[in-house]
Structure 1
């Protein structure tokens, strides 16, 4: 995965727009299939170009996840499967070349397809995915979700959500993150709503948010991955359950 701050130059963003256009032109139209909720047996439309994990029983809320750069969406399936039993449907978005920077507004189509009120939809992003999720909500995505979850991520320097006081934000930072360092995450707080809740995961690293292996440049993990994952699940589920309406 590429450290997302490298994509914030004007040249990189111009290139991403060009690449996104070429990719979209080359893609065949996606088809929509049906999936079934394990407990209720109710058929619901599955979101195309994504890993769609239905809630067990009634869907109380939905979480849309933007993966980190060069990370396959399957790396975050563990989180969606853990949330399913708490009535949370999880949609992990697929991007061209596994780079959210190539189509940062893709959440708009996913949100529309979910068919839920904005108060029950949440957007999350890891690393570059978090930066692009924040960019989406600062632009055309404003008002479309109840909350944002940043995982080892922070908004780009030219992106601010501070003027959206109704947007709830959970900011999960890994204490030993060598890529999105704790000081960088803390310095971004003025660009987030005042009620943003920062949670520092002790002894955790950047790669603890997804199951994709070790990462070059990351810090030293001193807390077992399963302990950190349990903390992430608890924080994410608690945040969604506390905000969803």
Structure 2
């Protein structure tokens, strides 16, 4: 004899509806991760006349990579930039373009699912392809910064500088003892990267690492990808914050 369900028809309807909503949310979230927006170069990336002149190409070096070069002359510095988690790499093209006017070449790799954690050693191929005769600096935003720090920690001597933007080394990663200049940038109103964790991360960076606070900025101001859920409220314009970020980065590179 089969046991009849003790759930009333109304409860069964609500249960089915609830499961459908949960299933739809899971599918939608998974789709956002797996199906990434198109890679479009030059979209919302120009900051001024000099920035517009930079040479930007999509190339292959262990996978797709955005390469940003000065319009004339050879760059003396190669900046390998790891994007933030689930952020399309073109969001950081603005920085590469701005630095190109200062003689810096920037390469921004495209990671599987836009997650640097899927290929933390990607810098190997980029340095081999583009780094000959150049001073190499690795940088990253948020999760990309954590992976950049991991790469620098595990490949001592391969890079000559480290820049973290709203990021810090993971708890099991330490660069103490390395003779490696390092810069940590903290957005003053960041509500995504815990400011205490960013400051605490200095304890796992090389001695002499410096922390620079970007006044009034938020987490999403490091890349041009729009507002980020859970982020703070900025008290300055994006243009002002980007100017402060650029000044901090160029000042750091100039001291290497």
Question: What band does the TM-score fall into relative to the shorter chain?
Answer: 0.7 to 0.9
Give the structure 2 partner of residue 158 of structure 1. Answer: 172
Match of 1:137 in 2: 152
Given that residues 47 and 113 in structure 1 are in contact (C-alpha distance below 8 angstroms), is that contact kept between their aligned partners in structure 2? no
- Between 1:225-234 and 1:46-55, the stretch displaced more is 46-55
1:202 aligns with 2:215: yes
Q: 8 Å contact 1:47–1:91 — kept in the other structure?
A: no
The answer on whether the counterparts of 2:85 and 2:114 sit within 8 Å (CA) in structure 1 is yes
Correspondence 1:176-215 to 2 at 5 A = 176-215=189-228
TM-fit CA distance, 1:137: 1.2
Equivalent-residue separation in structure 2 for 1:47 and 1:204 (angstroms): 34
Structure 1 stretches of 5 or more lacking a match? Answer: 1-37
Aligned: 1:126 with 2:133: no
3-state DSSP of counterpart to 1:123: strand
Runs of 4+ in 1 over 4 A off after TM superposition: 44-47
User: How many angstroms apart in 2 are the aligned matches of 1:207 and 1:122?
Assistant: 22
Q: Which one has more relative contact order, counting CA pairs under 8 Å at least 6 apart?
A: 1
Give the alignment's TM-score, normalised by structure 1: 0.78
TM-score, normalised with respect to structure 2? 0.74
Q: Which whole-Å deviations, capped at 9, do the CAs of 1:7-27 have from their partners, x for residues lacking one? A: xxxxxxxxxxxxxxxxxxxxx
Q: Which residue of 1 aligns with 2:23?
A: none
Asked if the contact 1:171/1:197 (under 8 Å) is kept, the reply is: yes
Aligned pair partner of 1:74 in 84, 90, 111: 90
Alpha-carbon distance, 1:116 to partner: 2.5
Structure 2: how far apart are the matches of 1:110 and 1:146?
15
Superposition deviation, residue 45 in structure 1: 11
- For the aligned residue pairs, the C-alpha RMSD in angstroms reads 2.0
Contact 1:154–1:188 (8 Å) recurs in 2: yes
CA–CA distance in structure 2, aligned partners of residues 193 and 91 of structure 1: 24
Q: Distance in 2 between matches of 1:55 and 1:47?
A: 19
Q: How does 1:79-98 map to 2 (within 5 A)?
A: 79-98=95-114
TM-fit CA distance, 1:241? 2.1
For 1:112 and 1:124, how far apart are their aligned partners in 2? Answer: 17
**3-state SS of paired residue (1:149):** strand
- Once the two structures are overlaid, the 10-residue window that deviates more, 180-189 or 91-100, is 180-189
Partner of 2:69: 54
The 8 Å contact of residues 187 and 214 in structure 2, kept in 1 or not, is answered as: yes
| C-alpha contact 2:83 2:140 (8 A) present in aligned 1 | yes
Instruction: Indicate the SS of the match to 1:188.
Output: helix
User: Contact (CA 8 Å) 1:130, 1:154: kept in 2 or not?
Assistant: yes
